Amino acid sequence: MEKKPDYLIITNKSNNKTLVYYPTAKNANSSVKFFLIKHLGLENKFYNIDDQLPGYMQTDEILKKYKGKKNVINFLPPYTKFKKVIADEKCCLVRDPIARFVSNYKNRILFHRDSGFINHSIDMVIEKLENNMFENQHFLPQNFWLGKDLKYFTIVANISNIKNFVDGINDFFQKKIDFPKIQTGGKEFQISLNLRQIKKLKKIYSDDYDLIGKLL
C-alpha cells in the first residue's frame, strides 16, 4: 500500500518555490484550509459543514446537497506528529494554551459530543490530560504538531494577530486574498475556568508556553 504524505507541500509554479503548512488542532485550521483553497482556486471543490453542524446530526439527506465535493477536513493529510520537511516556506499558527483548551472543550465536547467524552466535565477532561490520556487528539500539546523550536518556521503567528501569517502566505502566492474567518461550532457555549483549573492546565501545557514564548 502506498504511504500517504504527512504534509501537503504546495508549489508556486511561477517560481517553483514550495510551501508547507503545519496544521495544529484548534488553531484556526478551517480558516487556513479555506485560505489555501482560495489561493489554489479550488473553492468549488470543497464544502465545510463540520463547523456548522456536529457529525451526529449530519444525515445522508443533508450531505446529499454536497455530492461531488470533498469535505474540507480532507484537504490536508491527517494530523501527524511533527516531522521536518524540505520546503522554502514552512508556516504555522500558535495559540495561548488556555484559550485553546477552552475552545477545544466548547467545540469537541459540548458541540460535537466526541465519542468517549460525552458529558465530560472540565475537571474530568483535565484529569485525563494530567494522566497523559490524549485519546482526543485535539487536546494534544501544540509542540506535538510543531516540534520544540519555532525558529524552524519561516512564517509563524499567534491566531490573535495573524497579519504576518496572512502577509507571508499572500507573498508566497504573489496574490492578495483576505483571510476567511470561519466560525467554529461551540462559540454559543459560555464556560469559565477557576484558578485551580488554570494552574493545572498551565502545568499540563508548560512546554507549549516555553515554545510559544513572546508570541503569547
**What pLDDT, in 10s, does the model give residues 67-112?**
778 888 889 888 889 999 999 999 999 999 999 999 999 988 898 8
On the question of pLDDT at 4 being above 80, the answer is no
Tens digits of per-residue pLDDT, 137-159? 899 999 999 999 999 999 999 99
Pairing label, strands 17-21, 9-12: antiparallel
pTM value? Answer: 0.89
Euclidean distance between the first and final Cα of the chain, in Å? Answer: 42
**Mean of the per-residue pLDDT values for the chain?**
89
For 38, other C-beta atoms within 10 Å of its C-beta total 16
- Show Cβ contacts of residue 56 under 8 Å, excluding neighbours closer than 6 positions: 112, 113
Percent of the chain whose pLDDT exceeds 70 = 94
On the question of pLDDT at 130 being above 50, the answer is yes
- Topology at the third CATH level for domain 9-215: Rossmann fold (3.40.50)
Do residues 103 and 112 touch, judged by C-beta distance below 8 A? no
Cα separations (Å) of 25 from 43, 107, 194? 22, 11, 24
pLDDT of residue 46: 86
